[in-house]
Amino acid sequence: MPKLNSIVHDNLYVRCPKCGDSQNPNHAHLGIQLHTGEYNCLRCHFKGRLTTQLLFELQLRDFPSLDYNSSSPLPEIFRGPGSSRKSKLARYHSDAGEDIFYSWWNDSHVGYYMRGHKMKKLWGFSGFNWANAPSPLISSEDNPLHFVEGPYDVQDDRTVCFFGIPSYQKINQFFKEHFFILKPDGDIWTQPGRFGIFKSILQRIIEANIGLMGVEFLPKGADPDEGYTPKFIPVDFFKRQLWQNTSSSLKVQQELARLHSSMN
């Protein structure tokens, strides 16, 4: 019997929305093929190919890419970097010079992530990547992991790239036993859509009481790999009334900027 959120033979198993699945909430019958997006329920034989709506219904929108099956074929891949940008991740490249990184789901290779000039593309599923993947990661209060959005933000062996905003689902499933710091791009605080997603994720992490130690704050327009010196904002700040009650990123941005200035 497949367990919920387990991967067996490249199939991710989740609860089936068609038949309701079994009475045991830890069991799952709907298998989603990670490389094609095709799904099939072992119980009621509900099958097809993933759509945006079904991803939403399955509450999987935080970890797979909606471009689960790229319309263009995967290019031939060559070992080594395609650009001069630094990254601790193992890197490959296309014949056109775009960087290509592996996407991992625990110790399973589930996709390829391409970065070119003002271009991002995914084949397969958006998992995560880190230096020395898929070797296990180790953390402690004195040596926490750092969670970042992009592959070029991985500058040391403790940093994990999420290929986007780190999701609560990924963190809770794979990193809840770790101590970690979130290191978002600076625009997370000034773009309402991105801020809303990040705020929701932070609140869920705090409610779950898993190992978040804080957030590294960067000013607007700055990325973790661009040489800016971030300021560490402890998790207690995000438990305060200001953070919980504001629906606008502007107030939090102003407060973080004030705190940032006071630390200089």
State the residue range of the domain holding 84: 78-263
Q: Are residues 107 and 166 in the same domain?
A: yes
For residues 32 and 89, membership in a common domain is answered with no
Residues 49 and 91 occupy one common structural domain: no
Closest-CA residue to 12 (of 110, 87, 86): 110
Task: Tell me, yes or no, whether 37 and 104 share the same domain.
Answer: no
Running DSSP on this structure, what letter comes out for residue 27? B
Domain assignment present for residue 65? The answer is no
**What is the distance between the alpha carbons of residues 47 and 30, in angstroms, rounded to a whole number?**
9
Establish whether the linkage from the previous residue to 134 is cis, with ω within 30° of 0.
yes
- The verdict on residue 72 lying in a domain is no
Question: Is 136 within the bounds of a domain?
Answer: yes
Q: Name, in order, each residue with C-beta under 8 angstroms of 25's C-beta and a sequence gap of 6 or more.
A: 4, 15
DSSP structure class, residue 235: G
The verdict on residue 48 lying in a domain is: yes
CA triple 118-119-120, angle to 5 deg: 135
Separation of alpha carbons 252 and 248, rounded Å: 7
Same domain, 51 and 83: no
- Quick one: pLDDT at residue 36? 72
Is there a single domain that holds both residue 48 and residue 95? no
pLDDT of res. 260: 53
- Are 222 and 97 part of one and the same domain? yes
User: Is 39 in the same domain as 101?
Assistant: no
- Distance between CA 221 and CA 126 in Å, rounded? 24
Residues of the chain with pLDDT under 70: 35, 52-53, 55-57, 59-72, 241-264
Q: What 3-state class would DSSP assign to 116?
A: strand
In a domain, 71, yes or no: no
228 and 120 housed in the same domain: yes
Residue 120 is assigned to a structural domain of this protein: yes
161 CB neighbour count, 10 Å cutoff: 28
Domain assignment present for residue 199? The answer is yes
- Residue 207: inside a domain: yes
Note the residue count of the chain: 264
How many independent structural domains does the chain possess? 2
Q: Which long-range contacts (CB under 8 A, 24 or more apart) does 156-159 make?
A: 156/88, 156/131, 157/88, 157/130, 157/131, 157/132, 159/88, 159/130, 159/131, 159/183
Is residue 120 located within the same domain as residue 20?
A: no
> Does residue 230 share a domain with residue 100?
yes
Same domain, 18 and 123: no
The pLDDT score that the predictor gives to residue 10 is 74
